[in-house]
Structure 1
Amino acid sequence: MRAAGPSARPALALLLLLAGAGVLAAAAAPLAPPLFNVSLDAAPQLRWLPVLQHYDRDFLHSAMAHIIGDYVPQWVLALIRKVPFADEIRGMCDALDFNLVDCILLNLAYEFSAFCTSIVAQDSKGHIYHGRNLDYVFGSFLRNLTLDVQFIKNGQV
């Protein structure tokens, strides 16, 4: 192995700096996602409004266009546009001024690209735990959209 010459030292220094920055970024404590309550007693079109109002619409439109354009085949677009969908997703799309088909396709892209592992467990006191790793190719978008949801029914979580 040869030692780096004087002309290679700035490049080596930059490489080491970038590698160090990557290690520091990876070691930084992840931010806790925001927590929202979603009432199952509310109408399906309205129950997700408090969550949706938290996010920037321009970012959501950009993320949706990117994910659908890159991960949803054209034949799926043609097929799915003719199918009726649930009021809950329709309410989300109405609140954000999104096309209903795009919201459905985004859900499909999310599911079809998932190579995730998930577990749900309940302890002896009735507490429910959900753990999941996120192996998505569009994780840079999901990082800014991750949230915790407590579903409320008849005043109970």
Structure 2
Amino acid sequence: MYFKMWRLFFTFLAIPLVLGSQTWNEGLKKAPRYSMNIDLPEEERWESVLQHWNASEFREMATAVFDKMVNKETLQLLEIIGGALDYYLPSPYAGEIRGIAKHFQMDVGEIVLYNLIYDITLSGGCTSIVAQDSKGNIWHARNMDYGFTATLRNWTVVVDFQSHGKTLYTSTSFVGQVGFYTGQRPNAFTVSLNERDEGTMLEDIIQILKALISDKTVFTSFQIRDALSRNDTATFDSALQRLAYHPETAPNYYIVGGAKSAEGAVITRDRLTAVDVWRLDLSNGRWFVLETNYDHWEPPPKSDDRRDPGNKAMNAIGQDAIDLDAMLKVLSLPLVCNSGTVYTTLMSAAHPSSYATFIRHCG
């Protein structure tokens, strides 16, 4: 208890030191970035990314992760699903998963499992912020915190999804996953996913089975990719509607930023629909929204309070001075950036060239 109190005290003491530091970004390593041609056949399109990873090393690391996640019976079930992949998963996910499994010489069921990590485990943590500066620019930044941290740092990659040489959308993902946790559609919107721990493992399994047999429910990370790639979700408002109200397999928080003034929101979701949409409200002084892993109307637990240090740091910076550099400083504070932080992504739909992801080693 005393250790936690001193750690929290140090965090608040560190806020002015970190925010005023001129060396806050020293040693930050950018995640590797590649382009992928979505005009290629689904089974071939990830090859431009996968070729940069050693297949045998990937298999070894993936097996270690799977052994900690599920039992052999679950893997056997997933292999049955893998054998009828086109029946269970829509395009482009089935073809892309099959191509990834072929490249790494792994069972298709194993790659299906890897793509369902969030829906099965619900073990992530995160901090996401959307802010509007005094000129009306919208900025979005996030820390991805997750288990298997060391492994996922090695697998973190930025991918520009291109057609005829033009980037349609960008994601920060993990090698071998076809869904996203973080992404941007240029001049339209940005989105990040934070974990919300609600419900039981039985409910998780039921929703996963529903998703496999119905085209009305989707896996959580596929939801983000669908929103980024679909022409009917090419605006902030249309993307917000889909992310808030389309049924999916796991509860979560979607943090969404737009390209225009006041376009920013935190969507608090149950599996089937949103329970709350918390938006920027400049008329009432809400120029930023910050979400960790707890409903914003409830106090965070003292054992995991990243919200209060983050809010204090944002207010210390102020709306006039906020930008992506300043938000990176906030996401570098102790507790906010911690031993489970895999990466930090900075993005802005109206300034798509600013998209960047950094591998983190904090705490």
Return closer, same or farther for 1:55/1:68 CA change in 2, 3 Å cut-off.
same
Return closer, same or farther for 1:152/1:57 CA change in 2, 3 Å cut-off.
same
Alignment of 1:1-157 (within 5 A): 29-83=27-81, 84-85=84-85, 86-111=94-119, 112=121, 113-116=123-126, 131-157=141-167
- 1:54-81 Cα deviation digits (max 9, x unpaired): 0122220111101110012444323322
The alpha carbon displacement at 1:89 in A equals 0.6
Unpaired segments of 5 or more residues in structure 2?
A: 1-24, 86-93, 132-137, 168-363
The alpha carbon displacement at 1:129 in A equals 7.7
Choose 1 or 2 for highest CA Rg.
1
More helix by share: 1
The alignment's C-alpha RMSD in Å is 2.7
Checking the alignment, whether the CA contact within 8 Å between 1:46 and 1:91 is kept in structure 2 is yes
Q: How many residues matched?
A: 125
Once residues 91 and 139 of structure 1 are traced to their aligned partners in structure 2, the CA distance between those partners, rounded to angstroms, is: 25
TM-score (norm 1): 0.68
The alpha carbon displacement at 1:119 in A equals 7.1
Once residues 63 and 140 of structure 2 are traced to their aligned partners in structure 1, the CA distance between those partners, rounded to angstroms, is: 29
Q: Supply the AA of the counterpart residue of 1:68.
A: F
Query: In percent, how many aligned pairs have the same letter?
Result: 33
TM-score (norm 2): 0.31
More strand by share: 2
Unpaired segments of 5 or more residues in structure 1?
A: 1-26, 122-127
The alpha carbon displacement at 1:150 in A equals 0.3
**Relative contact order, higher structure (CA 8 A, sep 6+):** 1
Checking the alignment, whether the CA contact within 8 Å between 1:120 and 1:129 is kept in structure 2 is yes
